[in-house]
Structure 1
Amino acid sequence: MPTVFRLDGYRFFFYSNEGEPLEPVHIHVIKDGIEAKFWLYPDVRPAYNHGFDARALRKLSMIIEDHAAEIEEAWHDHFG
Structure 2
Amino acid sequence: MPTILRINGFRFFFYSNEHLPIHIHVEKDNKTAKFNLEEIELVKSRGFNASELKEMRKLVSENIAIFKNKWDEYFNN
- Please indicate the TM-score interval, normalised by the length of the shorter structure: over 0.9
May I ask how many residue pairs the two structures share in their alignment? 76
1:36 equivalent to 2:33? Answer yes
5 Å matches for 1:40-59?
Answer: 40-41=37-38, 43-59=39-55
Aligned partner of 2:20: which letter?
Answer: E
Q: Give the aligned partner of residue 13 of structure 1.
A: 13
Gaps of 5+ in 1: none
Give the SS at the match of 1:67.
helix
Structure 1 runs of 4+ aligned residues shifted over 4 Å read none
For residues 54 and 45 of structure 1, what CA distance do their matches in structure 2 show? 14
Which residue does 1:64 correspond to in 2? 60
Q: What residue ranges of structure 2 are gaps of 5+ in the alignment?
A: none
Secondary structure, aligned partner of 1:52: coil
| Counterpart Cα distance in 2 of 1:12 and 1:62 | 13
Q: Structure 2-normalised TM-score?
A: 0.94
Letter in 2 for 1:14: F
Q: Deviations over 1:32-59 (max 9, x none)?
A: 0100000012x21111101111111111
Deviation at 1:78, TM superposition (A): 0.5
- Output the CA distance in 2 between the equivalents of 1:40 and 1:51: 21
